[in-house]
Amino acid sequence: AEFAALDSQVDGTAEDEEALLAQPVLAVVGRPNVGKSTLVNRILGRREAVVQDVPGVTRDRVAYDALWNGRRFTVVDTGGWEPGASGMQGAIAAQAEMAMATADAVLLVVDASVGATTTDEAVAKVLRRSKRPVLLAANKVDDNRLMPDVASLWSLGLGEPMPVSALHGRSSGDLLDAIVKALPEAPRDGERTAGPRRVALVGKPNVGKSSLLNKLTGEERSVVDSVAGTTVDPVDSLVELDGQTWRFVDTAGLRKRVHTASGTEYYASLRTKAAIDAAEVVIVLLDASEPLSEQDLRVLTMVVEAGRACVLAFNKWDLVDEDRRHQLEKELDRGLVRVPWAQRVNISALTGRSVRKLAPALRTALESWDRRVSTGQLNSWLSELIAATPPPVRGGKQPKVLFATQAGIRPPTLVLFTTGFLEASYRRFIERKFRERFGFEGSPVRINVRVRE
Ligand code: GDP
Ligand code: GDP
């Protein structure tokens, strides 16, 4: 079978591309019993137990996080993939094809005490076509007597065979060095710039942004505690909330109350966009006394698309009576379908009601935004979910999800490696279940799919 190169499905923005690169993948292939699992354990340094992950869950589609010399990568043991081909040789060749199509580098494991078998040769032939780096591990070299047998593995045409003993750990450091060298450099994720966390306060005109900012800072405290921005006008404010200092971005406009005449809506929306981009977490202020408007939804869409953590603050709660509250609930069911995960806080900038609830909500949202689920945890959850509810058949084919990793944080981004396109509804289903299992309240979660066609 011929396989197309990696393809990323949907949401192909530059930021996603970066997230996709965040953690490179190493696929481990080889015949049964050559010591793949033992070697994977060795590579992981037993940071994640391969076998005893979740009792009762079969050891298939295993993918785990590895860390060596400060470099993170995902290790996939391809043993659990069920390639269609019949016979051992065909099955392992197909496995190698899949590995080449999904991983950034492939490690072929051969049993040096047995030497190259015809199956090993067939796999090597497939791997020699790989556009990605292929490493050759000669396993079970428990002592030097096997070194001549190791040398004979040059015949596989995959370069220098690296002698290792997965069982005793011999040379595993050298192997890891070589693996890390072969993998593409991953951008380290979001070492944040130091200092207070950055908050944007956004919402349509007259929703109460400047009133809230004044409430939070105290009317008298003025621009003294503002921080000059790098560009001409944006000025941030440092605000103390609940014992923590926050940096409210681009608040100059809010303070000056520059609500001028017509033509400003476009300007306001650019300004909102800039504030959202500059922030890590966004307080979207909504007017609880009025129906949700198009403008509100546009702001919410901007936040989701920018991938920022978010808190919904329903302001002017002092104007909300029983009737309005019921009506609002109905509006929100429909209006907030894009952000069911966002926390809601009902406040009044005028009276100060519940304003102190904002800080804990911001903290929760940021914790979710910063959070990473380990590849092992993710895959044991995912393989159960998919076994129970497989992706819908498409064009007569059942797409298979091989494994997943959380490729990035800020926002949390999952990458699913599949053998076919996943419908948007199925991706939403996965997101819903993911949130049921792992939470992530207050943060958007992105789900990208890498298809091996
Ligand atoms: P897999 O089927 O390729 O995943 O192989 P396993 O990791 O399950 O190992 C198969 C057998 O080989 C097990 O009994 C291991 O203990 C043994 N084994 C793995 N690595 C080594 C090694 O470096 N030296 C020796 N002597 N035995 C090994
Ligand atoms: P901005 O345009 O979003 O900065 O909104 P402002 O802070 O200028 O507020 C617009 C109007 O709403 C002003 O008249 C405020 O006094 C009023 N307002 C703001 N917050 C509240 C609130 O919680 N309750 C009530 N009743 N009025 C509010």
Are the CB atoms for 248 and 221 separated by under 8 Å?
no
Exposed / middle / buried, residue 354 (Cβ in 10 Å: 0-12, 13-18, 19+): middle
Angle between helices 88-102 and 118-127 (to 10 degrees): 30
Q: ω into residue 411 within 30 of 0, thus cis?
A: yes
Q: Please tell me whether the overall predicted TM-score, pTM, comes out greater than 0.90 for this model.
A: no
The gap between the terminal CA atoms of the chain, to the nearest Å, is 11
Indicate if ligand 1 lies below 6 Å from the C-beta of 352. no
ipTM of the complex: 0.76
Question: Does an H or E element contain 135, and which?
Answer: strand 134-139
Indicate if ligand 1 lies below 6 Å from the C-beta of 92. no
Ligand 1 centre to CA of 141 (Å) is: 11
Q: Which two tokens stand for residue 281?
A: 């977490």
What is the CB neighbour count within 10 angstroms for residue 122? 16
User: Residue 329's Cα: distance from chain center in Å?
Assistant: 32
Q: Is 150 helix (H, G, I), strand (E, B) or coil?
A: helix
| pLDDT of amino acid 81 | 62
- Would strands 7-9 and 446-451 be described as parallel, antiparallel, or unpaired? antiparallel
Q: Which two tokens stand for residue 103?
A: 């991983």
The ligand minimizing its distance to the Cα of 78 is: 1
59 is in an annotated binding site: no
Indicate if ligand 1 lies below 6 Å from the C-beta of 34. yes
Instruction: Provide the residue-wise pLDDT of the chain in tens; the chain has 453 residues.
Output: 222 222 233 333 334 444 444 678 899 999 988 998 889 888 887 655 444 444 443 444 478 888 888 888 888 887 656 555 567 778 888 888 888 888 899 999 999 999 999 999 999 999 999 999 999 999 999 999 999 999 999 999 999 999 999 999 899 899 999 999 999 886 555 555 667 899 999 999 899 999 999 899 875 444 434 454 443 344 788 888 988 989 998 887 676 555 554 556 777 788 899 899 999 999 999 999 999 999 999 999 999 999 999 999 999 999 999 999 999 999 988 888 889 999 999 999 999 999 999 999 999 999 999 999 989 899 989 989 999 999 998 888 888 888 899 988 999 999 999 888 898 899 999 999 999 999 999 999 999 998 875
What is the CB neighbour count within 10 angstroms for residue 306? 18
207 is in an annotated binding site: yes
Evaluate the CA torsion angle 110, 400, 405, 416 in order and state its sign.
positive
Indicate if ligand 2 lies below 6 Å from the C-beta of 271. no
| pLDDT of amino acid 223 | 43
Q: For residue 168, which atom of ligand 1 is closest to its CA?
A: 23
Alpha carbons 416 and 402: distance in angstroms, whole number: 8
Q: For residue 79, which atom of ligand 1 is closest to its CA?
A: 4
| pLDDT of amino acid 8 | 31
What does R_g of the chain's alpha carbons equal in angstroms?
Answer: 27
Are the CB atoms for 421 and 388 separated by under 8 Å?
no
Evaluate the CA torsion angle 28, 34, 36, 39 in order and state its sign.
negative
Alpha carbons 65 and 171: distance in angstroms, whole number: 20
Question: Does an H or E element contain 324, and which?
Answer: helix 322-335
247 is in an annotated binding site: no
| pLDDT of amino acid 271 | 84
